[in-house]
Amino acid sequence: MKPERFETWLTVDGKGLYCRPGGFHIDPYGGAKRAVVTHGHSDHARPGHARVLATRETLAVMTTRLGAAATKGTQAAAYGEKISIGDVTVTLFPAGHVLGSAQVLIEWKGARVVVSGDYKRGADPTCPAFELVPCDLFITEATFALPVFQHGDAREQVAKLLRSHGQFPERAHVVGAYGLGKSQRVIALLREAGYERPIYLHGALAECCALYESFGVRLGPLKSATGAKREEMRGEIVLAPPSAIADRWSRRLPDPVTAFASGWMRVRARARQQGVELPLVISDHADWGELTATIAETGAEEIWVTHGREDALLHHIQTTGRKGRALALVGREDEDQ
């Protein structure tokens, strides 16, 4: 029997990507009957679904960020656990993006489809590493899908932060880092590098850090920057959401060195424009090399691109003899801000 074309059973409707024989959406906009959620970032995990399947960690993130009402009717899946939904089998695999992040394997009539969610291949002490899942159709993100994006080793960027910290003992170092994932990764990398001093946190980051610790991720001594006196933070490292580093909030810090941990820091103009003195190229998304290598390693003959800079990637997919398609899902932000 000729296998059915993927477009006939994986469709895009007003709520996003829909698996017809399974009767569920993946990372839908609010109000889906049944949702499989890849991870807790707000452009993927939205409130208002009747039923949600996700990892235990992602469900905990959703409860923390969206409130208990957002996650009624939930079902937790362990990585590797096979779950029947409608006529398909769904299995979650680590995506290496943030705590609890998962790729979704959908098996139907002998066909294997993997939806990557957001992912990266680089080491991250705060979540299990990306697991390669062979498939026929790979549906990938494309946040950093331009050859200019080569993230390199995050540990070198943290070493750069520590060198600056050693060089300017009279100044505070304020590091802008996304609240879920990036800030905990920066802290864990600092600890790996042997930095054991208390790290000061903007209030907006405390909740996610506590959540990571409740899942056994060691972050070491953390202190609230809100309650700290100005002089106390001299010579210390302070983490804050990106929006706070250029804001009045950071004026309370003693002569701060402004750093920003993001894949976008590869673009110098962007760092300059945002007034970042110490750009740190640390991303939780696959860079160009990781995207193209992963596409090849999955063995998939067909590649769909969900969100990001799809043009260059589609061109690459076609030149390597695969079939490519842009899904152009709306409402996905450049979350790695």
State the sign of the Cα–Cα–Cα–Cα dihedral 17, 20, 24, 30: positive
Nearer to Zn ion, 41 or 266 (CB): 41
Instruction: Identify which of residues 118 and 287 has a Cβ nearer to Zn ion in the complex.
Output: 118
Residue from 200, 202, 257, 190 nearest 232 by CA: 200
Question: Restricting to residues 41-70, which ones interact with Zn ion according to CB under 5 A?
Answer: 41
Q: How far is the CB of 335 from Zn ion (least distance, A)?
A: 5
User: 104-123 mask for Zn ion (x: CB under 5 A)?
Assistant: --------------x-----
Stretch that binds Zn ion, among 35-43, 159-167, 212-220, 257-265 (CB under 5 A): 35-43
How many chain residues interact with Zn ion (CB under 5 A)?
Answer: 2
| Identity of the residue, 308 or 324, whose beta carbon is nearer to Zn ion in the bound complex | 308
Strand order in the sheet with 74-76: 10-13, 16-19, 24-26, 34-36, 51-54, 74-76
Residues 114-173 that bind Zn ion (CB under 5 A): 118
Give the CA angle between residues 216, 217, 221 to the nearest 5°.
110
Asked whether position 336 contacts Zn ion by CB under 5 A, the answer is: no
Integer angstrom CA distances of residue 57 from 167, 177, 191, 213, 226:
38, 20, 22, 11, 27
Smallest separation, CB 120 to Zn ion (Å): 10
Q: How is 117-182 classified by DSSP, letter by letter?
A: -S---S--TTSPPP-----SEEEEEETT-STT-----HHHHHHHHHHHHHH-TTS-EEEE--TTTH
- Nearer to Zn ion among residue 200 and residue 304 (C-beta): 304
- Convert residues 296-325 into a mask of x (bound to Zn ion by CB under 5 A) and - (unbound): ------------------------------
- Choices 36-44, 62-70, 145-153, 246-254 (CB under 5 A): range interacting with Zn ion: 36-44
- Give the span between the Cα atoms of 54 and 75, in whole angstroms: 7
Residue number with CB closer to Zn ion (115 or 174) = 115
Sole window of 34-42, 50-58, 235-243, 260-268 interacting with Zn ion (rule: CB under 5 A): 34-42
Q: How far is CA 17 from CA 35, 139, 176, 220, in A?
A: 10, 10, 32, 40
Which lies closer to Zn ion via its Cβ, residue 118 or residue 124?
118
CA angle (43 as vertex; 189, 260 as ends), nearest 5:
35
Which CB sits closer to Zn ion, 302 or 336? 336
* Residue 240 bridge partners (DSSP): 176
Segment contacting Zn ion by CB under 5 A, of 1-9, 38-46, 75-83, 144-152: 38-46
Distance CA 129, CA 73 (A): 28
Structure tokens at 134: 């062979």
Q: Using CA atoms, how far apart are residues 93 and 112, in angstroms rounded to an integer?
A: 13
Least distance between Zn ion and beta carbon 4 (Å): 28
- Shortest separation between residue 99's beta carbon and Zn ion, angstroms: 11
- 8-16, 39-47, 193-201, 251-259 -> range binding Zn ion (CB under 5 A): 39-47
Nearer to Zn ion, 41 or 49 (CB): 41
Contacts with Zn ion by CB under 5 A lie at 41, 118
